[in-house]
A and B are shown apart, each in its own frame.
Chain A
Amino acid sequence: MSPTPGRRAAEVARRDEELAHETSEGAQELSERAETNEEELLIEEGAILRLPEGLVLDPGDVDVEFGEDETMIINMGPQHPSTHGVLRIMMELEGETVLRSKPVIGYLHTGMEKTAEELFYIQGATNVTRMDYLSPLHNELVYSLAVEELLGIELPPRASWIRMLMCELNRISSHIMWTATNGMDLASTSMMIYGFREREMVLSFFEKVTGLRMNHNYIRPGGVAADLPDGWEDDVQALVDTIPGRIDEYDELLTGQPIFRERTEGVGVLGPELATAMSATGPILRASGVPWDLRRSMPYLYYDQVDFDVIVGTVGDTFDRYAVRLNEIRESCKIVAQILEKMPEGDYRCQDKKVTPPPRARIDESMEALIHHFKLFTRGFEVPPGEVYTAVESPRGELGCYMVSNGTSKPHRMHIRGPSFVNLQSLPAMLRGGLIADAIAVISSVDPVMGEVDR
């Protein structure tokens, strides 16, 4: 089936026109120092933050001598193994010192917020779970909480406790994964292999519960997809028994190691004022000494009923971020052990027939169940109009979901506030004045997941 000659000519003309179309490509990039105005430099370096006087930076105030035309702008990524995906960073260098930098993102943009507007609420969890692929359950949680808030339904306690259990285990697996890749970035290949080994333990439990290692679609509006399998207590107990010991091993491998400390201590410092002003959340904010954890400060689910410590750093350097994450794994283990004791009996999803699909066995017996099932999966359920913002503490920081409903069965607008997306902004402040070799350590310590940055 070949196009008619006329159609082909039109096609070629259109293609030519497209190619000749003048683009403004390059405007996202870091511009030459000569083309950059003073204000842009000031903003990049935090002078407009109205910090205490000693903290205010001068555009030229880097500890290196450089001539106007001696700096060089180089490009790192988007295909670079240390950028954890397709992150591109442009850096202005003087010798080996980074003077300015700018993250350029969007290489993994797949329009997931637009996709969400085309999906029923019941299908939406499948979409959001693919954003932050290292902590999919938190994405599903924040989405489900937003939908439930709009619906105004109450969950049975067991559903919320199961959600907490899964999310804390997910935090463990995500932080272990971070420790592993961070080790690899700092040339500790054995750390990577150990990290992946432990992460696999958690993921195999996830597989047992949800059927998948990643992208679970387990937490859904109205509860969770399935009850925990028989014998889950033993599996979780095994995890709680094993992982703290393994964390001690990491501690021994990395924390005391002179090379690791040399490469992380005092590198990429971000103070509390700057971190707050830059809207950084999660381990980055806590490493700079701000005890802000949504689980503690604005509890959701049943986090007010479990006992855990909020880990806080002092300096805000790369080492502190490492230490905060490592100790958060221990705290999560503590939480998981408490959940194991407190897990109530009961339903694992709410029994509202308009929201929750009927069990398979009921469909054979009851006409009503069959109708509900059919309607739920062909037309979804309708959500009362309104706007809501919900937030949870994901391993990377505040994960928010702003949802607008217009009363139909699809969201009018679903916006995800990705912590990696916002945290990336503070990267230029961390990289400034450091060495280019340290940039790898700093980028890694921000823990960006590009699936969530670009969405």
Chain B
Amino acid sequence: MSEASALPALPELPGIATASVRGQLVYHPSAEQYLAAVEALREASFNMCSDLCGVDYLRHPGRELPAAVKPERFEVVVQLLSFDRAERVTLRLQVKESEPACPSISRLYPGAEAMEREAFDMFGIVFLQHPDLTRILMPEDWEGHPLRKDYSPGRVPVQFKEAPGPR
């Protein structure tokens, strides 16, 4: 594309492990680098946060990561989209099991607000400085975070003789 040369180059993000997966750039920032990286990408014409979701790697420990990145149990995956470049980049942030918290990007991308609420609701990842971090899909009084791998899906009692009762 000839227009691409007129666009600002993808920002140099020093110290951030980068990988290219299926032709798409994936950044692996640490928790400290995360906000600055998102802000730099936002300046470089990535004007929409198209998706943000959590992943629980509890039962899938051997995933492929750049050597510099220490795998943790949770991951927050952000997809940023640039209209001018017609391009996506992915950010994968490792979140510790002992302290499931990471900064919120809803100040930079207000559209990420509901998605962060969903990730909080489903995985219990706390997004610091989020304006309204409440459960979004589950009822307020729900206990546990359903998409965690150690959260049992539960059972529905069936009407058979000698059937076990509800968990």
Contacts and interface: CB of A to CB of B under 8 A. Distances in A.
A113 B136 CA distance: 15
Given A40-B131, A297-B86, A422-B111, A406 B21 contact: no
Interface string A85-114: 000000000000000000001100101011
Q: Per DSSP, are chain A's interface residues mostly helix, strand or loop, or mixed?
A: mixed
Interface residues of A, number: 53
Contact of A1 (B132, B135, B161): B161
A48 B111 contact: no
Interface in B139-161: 139-141, 146-147, 153, 161
Interface stretch (B6-14, B30-38, B58-66, B93-101): B58-66
Contacts of A385: 60, 63-64
Interface residues of B, number: 48
Nearest to A3: B165
B44 interface: no
A374 to B, nearest CB: 27
Interface stretch (A24-32, A62-70, A184-192, A362-370): A24-32
Contacts of B134: 27-28
A404 interface: yes
Contact of A413 (B56, B106, B153): B56
A421 B153 CA distance: 23
Contact of A114 (B106, B113, B147): B147
A455 B132 CA distance: 21
A424 B111 CA distance: 10
A425 B140 contact: no
Given A27-B134, A48-B107, A425-B113, A404 B60 contact: yes
Given A40-B132, A49-B110, A425-B113, A118 B153 contact: yes
Nearest to B55: A413
- Among B22, B135, B137, max chain A CB count under 10 A is at B137
Contact of B139 (A25, A387, A400, A413): A25
Contacts of A413: 55-56, 147
A402 B141 contact: no
B153 A389 contact: no
A224 interface: no
A24 B109 CA distance: 28
Contacts of B131: 39-40, 43
Given A417-B53, A422-B115, A389 B64 contact: no
